[in-house]
């Protein structure tokens, strides 16, 4: 969208409509490239994992593009919402476990985000400006299968949830749209806690 589009007043409904439209296009492009690189057709995909946190779509983005992409009617879909920055690696972890649970199956994972939609002229806070500078719009996709070969391997994965951290990062939601929540505690918290969690 042109810069002027972001500089005018708009509400959640318009922002989310833009999310759905553009996310579908980005999903289709990224998924198409991943399938081409894997030498597969969409009809050969058994499961689709879709990761996104910057808009809400029900039916989900993968369902909205399924016919145009050529997915089978029995393709399994696993939309993942609300994990923000951790969404991509969580999607890979989930896709890896799904592929391993059914040897021979092909799992497509697509992460699509439209972070520019969270830019708010009515909330020109430090958090808003930092988020706009750090995060952009885009999509990435890959195909996972169990077994040997391929370009990369998921060696291991895991998750860790810390208590009393719900208020340090996330979204606030109001009639205008999503507003970023970035607490000053994020850098020292990450420095003190992430490495020990990975080591465990």
The pLDDT assigned to 156 comes to 84
Count of CB atoms within 10 A of residue 73's CB? 6
pTM of the model: 0.92
Residue with tokens 């092909």: 106
Coil, strand, or helix at residue 2?
coil
Cα separation, 1 vs 40, in Å, equals: 32
pLDDT digits (tens, 9 = 90+) for 112-149: 999 999 988 888 888 888 888 899 999 999 999 987 77
Beta-strand ranges (E) seen in the chain are 47-52, 76-81, 107-114, 137-144, 169-174, 177-182
- Domain span at residue 58 reads 3-159
pLDDT digits (tens, 9 = 90+) for 80-116: 999 999 999 999 999 999 999 999 999 999 999 999 9
Q: Residue 184: inside a domain, yes or no?
A: no
Q: How many CA atoms lie within 13 A of 51 on its CB side?
A: 23
Longest dimension (CA), the chain: 52
Q: Residue 188: inside a domain, yes or no?
A: no
Q: Residue 44: inside a domain, yes or no?
A: yes
pLDDT digits (tens, 9 = 90+) for 156-191: 888 899 999 999 999 999 999 999 999 999 999 999
What's the CATH code of the domain at 82? 3.40.47.10
Q: Residue 191: inside a domain, yes or no?
A: no
Instruction: Please check whether residue 129 is in contact with residue 165, taking contact to mean a CB–CB distance below 8 angstroms.
Output: no
Catalytic residue, candidates 7, 17, 68, 85: 85
Domains held by the chain: number? 1
> Is 85 one of the catalytic residues?
yes
């Amino acid at each position: 969208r042109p810069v002027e589009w972001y500089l005018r007043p708009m509400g959640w409904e318009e922002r989310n409509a833009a999310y759905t439209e553009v996310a579908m296009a980005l999903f289709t492009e990224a998924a198409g490239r991943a399938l081409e690189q894997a030498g597969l057709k969409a009809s050969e995909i058994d499961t689709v994992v879709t990761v996104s946190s910057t808009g809400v779509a029900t039916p989900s983005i993968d369902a909205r593009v399924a016919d145009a992409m050529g997915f089978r009617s029995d393709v399994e879909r696993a939309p993942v919402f609300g994990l923000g920055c951790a969404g991509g690696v969580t999607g890979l972890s989930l896709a890896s476990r799904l592929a391993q649970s059914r040897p021979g199956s092909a799992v497509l994972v697509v992460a699509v985000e439209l972070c520019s939609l969270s830019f708010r002229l009515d909330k020109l806070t430090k958090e808003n400006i930092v988020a706009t500078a750090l995060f952009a719009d885009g999509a990435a996709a890959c195909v996972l299968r169990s077994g040997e070969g391929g370009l990369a391997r998921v060696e291991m994965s895991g998750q860790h949830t810390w208590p009393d951290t719900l208020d340090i990062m996330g979204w606030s939601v109001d009639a205008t749209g999503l507003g970023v929540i970035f607490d000053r505690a994020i850098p020292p918290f990450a420095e003190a806690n992430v490495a020990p969690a990975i080591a465990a």
